[in-house]
């Protein structure tokens, strides 16, 4: 039933054990494997402009704490927890009271005046995603922005495949409702084509906005 993640977690164990012994190349491989997940978890919680720096910070915090990881095969869920804690620290440090569930007007106000229309639209979509419940928004961003598959999300975060499927399904339902409401009010600037292909369009917008 869950045979696919086994080789990956076994590989994680070997990399973690080697990294504990000072093998920086092994830690670099862990970074390459989990950077997208860390990026997605942060993007679900903090301003996009600060995400890249925080990704680096998460791994810098994780390196000296590898000895605290009891089960080397659980590196993914462990660094996911560190990432969420780092996002919480970010808001404590910056004293942003309305941290995680920022309202749409506040998010729009943060956009640079030089943003192009697609960038502004992607920012609004991202704001809608970030207004969803924690589990939904994190899983959606890992899927839509970071391009991770459902099984990959489950393997990396430690969630069950069933939970990932539920989060994606319910999250997409809620996101579509918000997008349809925004489209009806003209906030998204959509034409009269309808929302049949909106999922692919919003996915493409979000990905392009977060590409380096």
**What residue spans in the chain does CATH classification 1.10.10.10 cover?**
101-212
77-119 pLDDT tens trace:
999 999 999 999 988 876 544 433 444 343 333 333 334 455 6
70-80 pLDDT tens trace:
999 999 999 99
User: Quick one: which H or E segment has residue 196?
Assistant: none
Is residue 168 within 8 A of residue 140, CB to CB? The reply is yes
CATH number belonging to domain 101-212: 1.10.10.10
CATH number belonging to domain 1-100: 1.10.1740.10
User: Considering all CA atoms of the chain, what is the largest pairwise distance in Å, rounded to the nearest integer?
Assistant: 60
Q: With 0-12 CB in 10 A as exposed, 13-18 as middle and 19+ as buried, what is 96? A: middle
Alpha-carbon Rg for the chain in angstroms: 18
Predicted confidence band of residue 123 (pLDDT cuts 50, 70, 90): confident
Cα→Cα distances 100→22, 129, 164, 172, 198, Å: 36, 11, 21, 19, 25
**What residue spans in the chain does CATH classification 1.10.1740.10 cover?**
1-100
């Amino acid at each position: 039933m869950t045979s696919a993640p086994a080789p990956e977690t076994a590989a994680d164990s070997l990399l973690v054990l080697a990294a504990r012994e000072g093998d920086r190349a092994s830690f670099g491989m862990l970074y390459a494997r989990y950077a997208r997940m860390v990026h997605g978890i942060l993007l679900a919680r903090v301003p996009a402009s600060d995400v890249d720096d925080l990704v680096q910070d998460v791994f810098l915090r994780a390196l000296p704490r590898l000895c605290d990881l009891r089960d080397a095969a659980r590196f993914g869920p462990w660094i996911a927890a560190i990432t969420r804690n780092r996002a919480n620290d970010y808001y404590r440090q910056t004293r942003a009271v309305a941290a995680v569930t920022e309202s749409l007007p506040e998010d729009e106000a943060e956009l640079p005046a030089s943003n192009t229309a697609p960038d502004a639209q992607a920012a609004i979509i991202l704001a809608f995603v970030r207004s969803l419940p924690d589990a939904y928004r994190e899983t959606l961003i890992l899927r839509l922005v970071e391009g991770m598959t459902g099984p990959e999300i489950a393997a990396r975060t430690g969630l069950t495949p069933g939970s990932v499927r539920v989060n994606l399904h319910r999250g997409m339902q809620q996101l579509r409702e918000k997008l349809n409401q925004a489209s009806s009010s003209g906030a998204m600037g959509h034409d009269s084509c309808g929302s049949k292909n909106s999922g692919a369009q919003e996915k493409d917008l979000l990905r392009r906005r977060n590409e380096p």
